[in-house]
Structure formats: structure tokens, C-alpha cells
Amino acid sequence: MNIHSIFIHIVELPTIRPHKLSMHTITKQTIVVAQINDTEGLTGWSEVATIGGASYGEATPEAIKVNCETYITPHLIGKNPQQFNLLMYEISKTVSGNYFARALIEGALIDLAAKQRNIPAYDLLGGKTHDSLPVAWTLASGDTGKDIEEAKELLLQKKHRIFKLKIGVGDAMENVEHVLKIKKEVGDGARLTVDVNQAWDETTANYAIARLQDGGVSMIEQPLPKWNFEGMSRLTERFSVPIMADEGANSIHEIFQIAKHRSGNSIALKVCKAGGLQATKTAAGIAEAAGLGLYGGTMIESSLGTAVGLHVYSTIPHLEFGTELFGPLLFKDTITANNIEYSNFEVVVPDGPGFGMIIDEEKLDHYKRS
């Protein structure tokens, strides 16, 4: 049951509406899918997603694919996927950085190893502590009235009661007033958070966060550029509203520095940023030891990548800020035959062998780049 072949696919899925960030607007999301086949006919699947090519970070889809195929997968042919921990350690000694690529390969190894044992992937990660997790939804129409109407409808349907607004594009104070009007309308029945995606300088952040804090916003995500750890420390010390590090919290080494210098008092976990599921658990342990709050973040993955995140997040006992794994709800279509379930304000952890997702290979072929 050793590894027989490995394929890396770049896939592009259309979204139901534009999804605006400070550096890019998503109308078609690019994901990278790994397929690892064993000699007995079983297949492990995994996914990482990126945002806007090189506008978000250095890990472009094209770089992930070529680095996997050139520097990682040749080490794996003929190896036993049950030794995924050893295999990833050996890869780490020869492949520097490339966290997205390493996360992609490790995920497919874990999916395959779990399928070979006919167990869920979370059982290889210590076992789940949650059957489902709170899930946020991003309000992104840009129209205050429409966002209020959408939030109230989702509350009524018991789909979401955590709402995020991306406010890194445009006039900062106009965006703040937009957020406060929504908060006033939804009241205490929902929690509102904002994501600045690194767009503010420290002066703007001081004015804007003061208003947001007074207005009842419950968390401010990455207000300053990712390199400005000292500025993040000053904001964290000044305000009582939680300041979350996202783009600045990548490797476990960066998370240690954030914890040491209090450059934020909460962390957005992401499997691809950490370099894999095991590194995500290590990151969570560092944050927990330092008293930092945790959030199960997303890179807007499809159903497959969302399942990967759910399997590792389900093993972390304390996720104070819930998750943001709404990705499947943003896509017009999916590459899996089964869907992620959303119920009673939460996203359900899929069971079944591996990550619990069945790949629709016809859909995969339809949406992948030639």
C-alpha cells in the first residue's frame, strides 16, 4: 500500500458574487489539489487555496504546483503514507519554506493514510473534540441596507450569527460607519468582526478602532501591515477589543514572536500558512500557552479544503472566535460529490474515511486548468 503516483491540479471555481479584500477581488477562486494514489487503488486528496495570484503572498498556485512536482513528490514515490510524519520531516530538511506546498502534500498523505485504516483523518490527529464549530459569514455587498437585510435573513435561517466585514478598501472612516450601522441593526443577536487585510497605517487604526470598539465590534483582524509587529503590539496594549494577527501569523516561529511581544492577542490559524495540519496544532499550542485566542481561518477553500481545516480544527479544544470556514457557500459549484453541512449556526465536521469527502473527478477535470 505504498505510494504509486502523485498528481497536482490547479482548479478554478466561479463564485456566486465578488469577494472583496484590500489587495484583490475574487470572482473566480484558484485552488490547488493534490492526488496521491497507492498501489492498492486508494487515493488521498487535499487542497490549498490562494488569493489573487501573487497579490496576497508569495505562494502562487503555479509556484505551489511546480515546487510540489519538482522538489517534494519525487521523495514520496514508493514510500509508506502511514509514515506521513517522518516523510514530512524529511521533506522539511530539503525544502525550505513553501508552506502551502508542504501543507498540500501532507494533507493528501494524511487523507490516504486514514483511508487505508478506514478511519477519519481527525483520529490520526488526536481525535476530535467538536462535532461542529461556529462559522462566520462575510457581508460583502458594500451596500449597508443589503448587508443588514442579508444578516437578518441568515440569523432567521440559523445559518450564521457571526458576521465579518472586509473594510480595507476605500475610506476608512466611511467603512467604520458602515460597520456601526449594521451592528446597531443586528444588535446583540450577532457578533460583528472586521478584517482590514493590512490596509491601515497606525494613525488610521487608532482613530478607527476607537470607534469600532465603542460601537460593539468584537474583533479587529490584521489592521496593520504584516511586518509592523511593534505597531500591532501598541494597538493590542491600547484597546480592549481583541486584535487578531492573520497575515502576520504564518509559521510557528512568527506565532511565537507574536506571543512573546503581544503583537495581537488572538491568532487566525490556517493550515496552509502553518505548513500542514500537524504544524497547525503546534501553532495552536504555542498560542494557547501564551493565552492568545484562536480562530479557525480560511483562504476561501472549496468543500475539500474546508474538510481539511475542519478535521484539524475539530481536535483543538478551545477556538474562542469560532471559524470562518464558509468557503463552500461562496462557490457556484464544487469538485466533491458530497457537501459540507451547515446547521444551527455551525459547520459540521464530516465523518467517513480520511477527510470524509468524495471527489467528483468529472467536475475536477471540468474546472482544472489544461
**Known catalytic residue at 270:** no
Query: To which residue does cell 464544487 refer?
Result: 334
From the number of C-beta atoms within 10 Å of its C-beta (0-12, 13-18, 19+), residue 344 rates as exposed
Task: Check if the beta carbon of residue 48 is closer than 8 Å to that of residue 305.
Answer: yes
Q: How far apart are CA 369 and CA 248, in angstroms?
A: 31
Cα radius of gyration rounded to whole Å, the chain: 20
Q: How far apart are CA 57 and CA 48, in angstroms?
A: 13
The one catalytic residue among 65, 115, 128, 166: 166
Beta bridge partners of 163: 137, 192
DSSP output for 210-226: HHHHHTT--EEE--S-T
Integer CA distances (angstroms), 345 to 57, 135, 183, 188, 332, in order: 31, 7, 18, 15, 21
* Cβ–Cβ under 8 Å, residues 223 and 243: yes
Distance between CA atoms of residues 231 and 1, nearest Å: 51
Query: Cβ distance 12 to 38 under 8 Å?
Result: no
Distance of CA 284 to the CA centre of its chain: 14
Q: Give the per-residue SS3 of 143-173.
A: CHHHHHHHHHHHHHCCCCCEEEEECCCCCHH
Q: Are strands 342-343 and 293-296 parallel, antiparallel or unpaired?
A: unpaired
Residue 181: CB atoms within 10 A of its CB come to 14
Q: List Cβ neighbours of 359 (8 Å cut-off, separation of 6 or more).
A: 43, 45, 304, 335, 336, 337
Catalytic residue numbers? 166
